[in-house]
Each structure stands twice: as C-alpha cells, then as structure tokens.
Amino acid sequence: MTDEIFDVKRRLTKRVIVLLGSGTKNGTSINYYTEGDHEIYVMCNYSVYAKYLESLLQPNEFETHLVPIFSSMEELYPLLYMISKIGGVSIGKTKLKFIDNLKYFMKVSSLDENEDYDGDDIPINLSPGQAERPLTWDLIIVLDSDLFSQDHLLPYSVSTQQLLRFLSLQHSGSFAIVSGVQSFISSGASILSLVKFIDQSVEGQPNESQSYNHPPEPISIYDEDGVFISDNLFVNILIPLGWDSWSKIEILAKSAAHGGPQLSKSRLLSSLEEIQEFNTLYEQFLDADPIDEQAQTKLIQYMSKEEENQDSDRDLPKESSFTKTLNFHGLLKEALAETYYMS
C-alpha cells in the first residue's frame, strides 16, 4: 500500500468505497484501484480507518458510491450514524433519484408489455421514514450470500433481510444479496461492474436488464466489454433504488418458517406498526449527539426480541443475535419472491 491513497487532495471524478467489517478474511488494510474515471477503495476492517473514511466523504465534487458489506449491526449502526452527520441534512440528488426511480417502477407496474414508459408525472406519497434520511452519496448495502445458512427461512435470517432493507430504504439506498464477494473485492474492474449493475441510476434510468415483474434469478456480472467477470459473482437478490416500501418489507415476514430455537431470539417486522416503532427508535439514534450507545442497544434489543423479556433492566446491554457475524449459506429466493410481484 502506497502513501498516495492517503492524499485526500488526489481526485479523479467518481469514487467507489467498499467497506468490509472486522470479520473479513483480508485483515486490516486499504486496497486502491483506478478504473477509467473511477477511483476505488476497499477498506478492510473499516472501523480502524474511521477518520480517513470521514475525510473521503467530506462534501466534494465526487459522485460517490458507498458500499458496506454487512457483517454485524454493531458495526453497521455506528457507520450509518457517522455518515449521516456528514454533508448536512439537505434532500440532495439521492432522494431525487429515489423518487424518479419510484415513479418509473409505479408506471411500469401498470403498463402492458407493449406499452412504453413515457415519464408522465406521478403523485408520490411516501410513508413516514421512507427515504427520510437520504445521504449525500449513493448507498448500496450488500449482504454476502456465502454467509447464509441452509436454514434461510428461519426468523433470524428473514429479520436480518428486513432490517437491512429498512436501513437501505430509510437512507434512499439499494440493497443486494451477492454471491462471490470475496472473489470480486480484489479486482477494481469487478467492483465497478457490480456497482454499475446494482445502481439503477448509473445512466439516469433504471437498468432494463432486470425484470421486476417476476421472482429474481441469479444474474451474472459482465464488464463494460461484455467479458464475464467470474463464475462465482452473481446478484442473487436485488432491491433497487426506489423499488422498496414498508409494505413489501412487512410481507417478507410471512415467508419465515415459524418454530425452532431461533424463534425466541429474532423479531420479525410483521406489521406496519412495528416498522414505525422501529423507525422511531432509529431516528432517535440518528438524532443523538454524540452517538448514544443506549439508543443503539435499544435498536439491537428490539430486533432480537430482548425488550419483550426485560422489565426494569430493559435498557441494559444484552447479547444479541446480531452481535455475531451471521453464518448462513443459501438464498432467500423463496422468502422474497412474493415481494417481487408488482401489482
């Protein structure tokens, strides 16, 4: 690693920052690549580089994609808190892109196959919390499917997906379940190809190669020259910018298999009321200054159902099912399929 990557004044025009948690096999390091007009950072154990990451995210002329690879909520909550404090509270271009994509998906869902999307203005009514905290950058939360268990319909697995989709929607981001994460983080070309595919607004319009009217299939990733990137790199599930909603996240809970030892440890967001309760807790966490560890504990407890088993000590930290790196294998295709039908 050379000193040039620590020169914050060194700029191209676009930037991708991939963030790996403390559980990464790559140890603690920063890898740097350049691809065309993009500079690409891969931060392994990113909490060690918090100050440097903050300096990269300070307001500038860059078009930046921030791509955290989920490892645990204990790492993701502080990251989202930190980046939400950078760049002020203006709606910015991210929410505008979210609304444009939302209009597109609403329109396409009502069209016959032979009709074209003409861009007519569509009234938008967002529920409280939806896209309410847009960031200055394009956020893509990635869940590595290689960490799934074969028990992919257990409540703790489904609730994790609900939670990550909730956070993505709150911050006007995208969410993807990707296989082969370890195989692509060592290649700048692979990272850029994946980000361009996931980001539905790279070219100013949703990606036409993905259909949203049927359950998703694994999608191979190709570079700009049409060369197949990797036998292992697939987008298994994609929740693009502007597609999700609280109601779709709620529906996902119906796919969970009820029973088994994990049932007592995981909360499913089974109603809009529960989603709004969690939204209130999350906004209280984001509004605290400085960061409030008790508010973060309440978030973890809420999704681990610990708050239901506590009385006077309900605010005390307890071990959560999210405090350990999730160790799954498999795909929530069956669990998510119902949410992909546009009616």
3-class secondary-structure state, position 338? helix
CA distance 192 to 33: 10
Q: Tell me how crowded residue 61 is: count the other CB atoms within 10 A of its CB.
A: 6
3-class secondary-structure state, position 67? strand
3-class secondary-structure state, position 119? coil
Taking CA atoms, 144 is separated from 49, 208, 223, in Å, by 22, 24, 20
Q: Give the CA count within 13 Å in the CB-facing half-sphere of 270.
A: 9
CA distance 100 to 133: 17
Residue 318 contacts by C-beta under 8 Å, 6 or more apart in sequence? 297, 301, 304, 306, 310
Element (H, E) at 93: helix 92-109
Residue 25, pLDDT above cutoff 80:
no
Per the model's pLDDT, the better-predicted residue between 323 and 235 turns out to be 235
Interstrand relation of 29-35 and 38-44 (parallel, antiparallel or unpaired): antiparallel
Per the model's pLDDT, the better-predicted residue between 26 and 196 turns out to be 196
Q: Which tens digit of pLDDT belongs to each residue from 122-142?
A: 778 888 899 999 988 899 999
pLDDT of 126: 87
In this prediction, residues 4-15 reach a mean pLDDT of: 63
pTM for this prediction: 0.80
81-90, 144-153, 172-181 — which one is most confidently predicted on average?
172-181
3-class secondary-structure state, position 196? helix
Structure-block tokens of residue 139: 């956020």
* Contact between residue 249 and residue 274 where contact means Cβ atoms under 8 Å apart: no
Which phi and psi angles does 197 have, rounded to 5°?
Answer: -70, -45
The proportion of the chain whose per-residue pLDDT surpasses 70, expressed as a percent, equals 65
